[in-house]
Chain A
């Protein structure tokens, strides 16, 4: 077995755009679920809004990349408004089912051949990189050390991703220590108590849904920045993986989502490299390499169950600030 290769692949997943996308989606979800108590099961839909909004505005409307980003984020905000109006007055599990359904509707609309000209249907979208790469200030070449060696375009994606994460963390941290954040957390703990203080609970929840949705859409854009947009990525499983990352780190914490997303991908990449290698080395003779690759998904499901049952506050969370109220 090539341990060096396995460890190198694992280490490089720390700086992968996918990891950053998960981190951003998890930060958005922490605003929804961790702070406001909203059971958003449509994270994949918000990410798809960001990714498709970005790619379509560049490919179909010929806009520059920053305008594409704004449109992607705006699309997610509108998606949040449409979702919030019918459901935020209802009990939490309705929101869960409606958001998961809305994310599927969005995915099926992106997937259908009816809008093939704009969405690329099953093939997805690609070839929208020119504008973003033109904005790259890094001179051509390869930089970095150890497992983190990338060319100028790969670094530019990673730097933009890191800046976005830093900005999102800062924003959530400041907001949640503000009076606005205290109202939001109050709604999570006891909606009626907050209502009796004269706050408009519906409006606060809507603001939280839009804010978290926009951050998740930023994750979708980072997901799409380096390569392509494929409708097969934005399935409900993506939502559940982001949830696993969030709950791993701690839903109601500032750094929990980032830590959780990084840990999730480090472990996932490690197992993805290790298990097939074990099969090839005849250490796991009872399974094939394909089965070994499937095994890690089973482990994700088991990990999610164990986390929620035994440590619902996550690694960084505080047991007193339980997010699973009611």
Chain B
């Protein structure tokens, strides 16, 4: 590894700096003192539990040092106050979080140093049953443990493509449903959440993971079929307008979302194997086994889907209905049965996407689908409403944009870039990348 040579230097200089380790009791004490009232607390009111610490150099507090706490659905940035203190609220206890100290924000020539540790500025901490943990870094003069910009970019690009592929699995279904039925289906978000929730449910019944995940995807497909049969087909029969259909889907989305909350509660739950170790690829780029499997599954399914859409009879019929539904019906295509297949495919792919998203986030939450619904809409609009391959291209662009843009903008604004792109694309090319002019109405 690149940092091996730096270790002896660190050993020499470690004596210059010692960090203060304080226990939970000491944290409580500090909070009673007047100075702590100004401590930089992020989300400590939002979440019940907290990770905190104190950044000091030779007993002197360091102000404005930036740290990041991530894991279990949070990704929070924080900076130390004048006393060198920081605290971050976290949603779960008995859970692991990753604390990263940004060495660029330390004074010149100062770094996090620890013997025999290549990346001492990254720490895994466990919030125990008490719900509080404090963590501190050994800070002193030494060589910084920075990741080169190129490595970061590659890491984000890979993450972005992975995210984009799983987004595509969901967005393709959304786009197909829109193309064949005209519904802007807001409840697609809940079809995404449905997959991991069912996998979790099956897991709790004792079904092993290798069985639970495929069964959850099948359940998602059945869910798509059920929604078409119970709701959307009767509404088509009644000739309900597309604006009404959209608002019906919003109502369905609300009902399902809170139904999930009813059963799994408001917290974050984990599927087995969510904390798989990361393997180094090159430089500082790492990728976990789960990420690799996830990308592989996404690619295989998307290719299979593309072949199906291009060459099978039903695939061709689907495209015909997307192009011109009355004409397709007049040429003898059974629109209702094709739409039924579209709902099945959309439901299955959404459930799969949800399972992969549960590993990527990581964690299952009742509103996890709603969190990426707008990104799906952005992807579909970017690619061209109603076109399946447009949704794929749009998703990958959105996924990469979301991950890479956080190199420059704060992590809590990373979705903003994609949404702004959605608005801007409508200014210049409202039909999207692969859409046709006539669709914009």
Q: Which residues of A contact B241 (CB under 8 A)?
A: 324-326
Q: Which residues of B contact A303 (CB under 8 A)?
A: 251
Interface of A, helix, strand, loop or mixed by DSSP: helix
A190 at the interface (CB under 8 A from B): no
**In the bound complex, how far is the Cα of B370 from the Cα of A113, in angstroms?**
22
- Whether the pair A112, B240 counts as a contact (CB closer than 8 A) is no
B12 at the interface (CB under 8 A from A): no
Q: Which residue of chain B has its CB nearest to the CB of A33? A: B243
A262 at the interface (CB under 8 A from B): no
- Whether the pair B252, A301 counts as a contact (CB closer than 8 A) is yes
**In the bound complex, how far is the Cα of B246 from the Cα of A100, in angstroms?**
13
With contacts A113-B77, A301-B253, A303-B251 known, is A326 near B243, CB below 8 A?
yes
- Whether the pair B412, A111 counts as a contact (CB closer than 8 A) is yes
**In the bound complex, how far is the Cα of B374 from the Cα of A294, in angstroms?**
24
With contacts A96-B184, A101-B423 known, is A240 near B254, CB below 8 A?
yes
B27 at the interface (CB under 8 A from A): no
Interface hit among A137-145, A158-166, A201-209, A305-313 = A305-313
**In the bound complex, how far is the Cα of B106 from the Cα of A239, in angstroms?**
43
Q: Which residues of A contact B246 (CB under 8 A)?
A: 39, 93, 96
Q: Which residues of B contact A101 (CB under 8 A)?
A: 374, 377-378, 419, 422-423
- Whether the pair B235, A297 counts as a contact (CB closer than 8 A) is no
- Whether the pair A97, B381 counts as a contact (CB closer than 8 A) is yes
Within 8 A of A (CB), among B362-378: 370, 374, 377-378
- Whether the pair A108, B255 counts as a contact (CB closer than 8 A) is no
Q: Which residues of A contact B184 (CB under 8 A)?
A: 93, 96-97
- Whether the pair B262, A114 counts as a contact (CB closer than 8 A) is no
Kindly supply a per-residue 1/0 record for chain B positions 239-264, scoring 1 wherever the CB is within 8 Å of any chain A CB and 0 otherwise: 01111101110111111111101100
Q: Which residues of A contact B407 (CB under 8 A)?
A: none
- Whether the pair A312, B244 counts as a contact (CB closer than 8 A) is yes
Q: Which residue of chain A has its CB nearest to the CB of B265? A: A290
Q: Which residue of chain B has its CB nearest to the CB of A298? A: B258
**In the bound complex, how far is the Cα of B441 from the Cα of A282, in angstroms?**
56
- Whether the pair A94, B412 counts as a contact (CB closer than 8 A) is no
* Cβ 8 A contact of A237, one of B45, B254, B265, B381: B254
Residues of B within 8 A of A (CB-CB), count: 50
Q: Which residue of chain A has its CB nearest to the CB of B439? A: A91
Q: Which residue of chain B has its CB nearest to the CB of A91? A: B441
Q: Which residues of B contact A236 (CB under 8 A)?
A: 370
B43 shortest CB reach to chain A, Å: 5
A198 shortest CB reach to chain B, Å: 22
With contacts A122-B42, A326-B242 known, is A86 near B423, CB below 8 A?
yes
- Whether the pair A309, B254 counts as a contact (CB closer than 8 A) is no
* Cβ 8 A contact of B440, one of A90, A97, A304: A90
* Cβ 8 A contact of B412, one of A112, A123, A237: A112
Q: Which residues of A contact B430 (CB under 8 A)?
A: 90, 94
Q: Which residues of A contact B242 (CB under 8 A)?
A: 93, 326
**In the bound complex, how far is the Cα of B441 from the Cα of A326, in angstroms?**
12
B360 shortest CB reach to chain A, Å: 20
Q: Which residue of chain B has its CB nearest to the CB of A297? A: B258
B374 shortest CB reach to chain A, Å: 5
**In the bound complex, how far is the Cα of B238 from the Cα of A308, in angstroms?**
13
**In the bound complex, how far is the Cα of B381 from the Cα of A312, in angstroms?**
28
**In the bound complex, how far is the Cα of B440 from the Cα of A300, in angstroms?**
32
- Whether the pair B45, A122 counts as a contact (CB closer than 8 A) is yes
A92 at the interface (CB under 8 A from B): yes
B415 at the interface (CB under 8 A from A): yes
- Whether the pair B244, A324 counts as a contact (CB closer than 8 A) is yes
With contacts A113-B410, A243-B250 known, is A294 near B419, CB below 8 A?
no
**In the bound complex, how far is the Cα of B191 from the Cα of A52, in angstroms?**
34
B327 shortest CB reach to chain A, Å: 20
**In the bound complex, how far is the Cα of B188 from the Cα of A309, in angstroms?**
19
- Whether the pair B419, A123 counts as a contact (CB closer than 8 A) is no
B306 at the interface (CB under 8 A from A): no
**In the bound complex, how far is the Cα of B251 from the Cα of A294, in angstroms?**
15
**In the bound complex, how far is the Cα of B49 from the Cα of A82, in angstroms?**
40
Q: Which residue of chain A has its CB nearest to the CB of B415? A: A108
Q: Which residue of chain A has its CB nearest to the CB of B417? A: A105
Q: Which residues of B contact A94 (CB under 8 A)?
A: 381, 426, 430, 440
Q: Which residue of chain B has its CB nearest to the CB of A236? A: B370
Within 8 A of B (CB), among A62-100: 85-87, 90-94, 96-98, 100
B contact residues vs A (CB 8 Å cutoff) = 42-43, 45-46, 77-78, 184, 235, 238, 240-244, 246-248, 250-259, 261-262, 265, 370, 374, 377-378, 381, 410, 412-413, 415-416, 419-420, 422-424, 426-427, 430, 440-441
A contact residues vs B (CB 8 Å cutoff) = 39, 85-87, 90-94, 96-98, 100-102, 104-105, 108-109, 111-114, 121-123, 232, 236-237, 240, 243-244, 247, 287, 290-291, 294-295, 297-309, 312, 324-326
24 A/B residue pairs, CB under 8 Å, sorted by A: A39-B243, A86-B423, A86-B427, A98-B426, A105-B419, A105-B423, A108-B412, A109-B413, A112-B413, A113-B77, A114-B412, A294-B258, A294-B262, A297-B254, A300-B254, A301-B257, A305-B248, A306-B251, A308-B247, A308-B251, A309-B248, A312-B244, A325-B241, A326-B242
* A-B contact sample (18 more), CB < 8 A, given A90-B426, A96-B246, A287-B262: A86-B424, A86-B427, A98-B426, A101-B377, A112-B413, A113-B410, A114-B412, A122-B46, A240-B251, A240-B254, A243-B250, A295-B262, A297-B261, A298-B255, A298-B259, A301-B251, A301-B252, A304-B247
